[in-house]
Homo-oligomer: A and B are copies of this chain.
Amino acid sequence: MGKRNPEKVASLHEKLADKMEERGLRSTSQRRLVCDVFFRSSGHHSVDDVLALVHRRDPKIGYATVYRTLKMLVESGLAHERHFSDSLARFEVTDAEGHHDHLICVSCNAIIEFEDDEIERLQERLAKRHGYQLVRHKHELYGICLTCRRQGVDSA
């Protein structure tokens, strides 16, 4: 959960303002706060993660508002919703440079993002071969990271 650089955060707020105007949505203090918290920290956050950060600045904000705001960000294309092996949704800021997939440590939950053009190409080919026009895909690799392996976590 690193921090995103301030220029990028500002640009995300701008992009959001545009999108919200387009869609006729109102800019409330709660939305501004939730989005700011979310934009500032990189990584894959659950609703609870975001709510906890939000509560440090305003403890009165409710669950539902965070859910609704993150959903709005997804609809506006500024966030992606992910479902890894745990049962809850995680959100990440949409990467302007485009799509990526995930390599997840089953032991410590560290997440590495990857992009592999060759795999993407093979996916396209495979879909086409079966008559499918590819819309999106989910590619998650679960493994044990080097650190965990060194600490003697075994794959059982």
A interface residues with partner B (beta carbon < 8 Å): 83, 103, 105-106, 112, 114, 116, 118-119, 122-123, 126-127, 130-146, 149, 155
Contacts and interface: CB of A to CB of B under 8 A. Distances in A.
A134 to B, nearest CB: 4
Contact of A142 (B136, B140, B141, B149): B136
18 contacts: A103-B130, A103-B132, A112-B130, A114-B126, A114-B130, A116-B122, A119-B119, A126-B141, A132-B141, A132-B144, A132-B145, A133-B155, A134-B141, A134-B143, A137-B139, A137-B140, A138-B142, A139-B139
B155 A127 contact: no
B116 A103 contact: no
B137 A141 contact: yes
Contact of A127 (B122, B126, B136, B143): B143
B145 A134 contact: no
A144 B143 CA distance: 31
A56 to B, nearest CB: 31
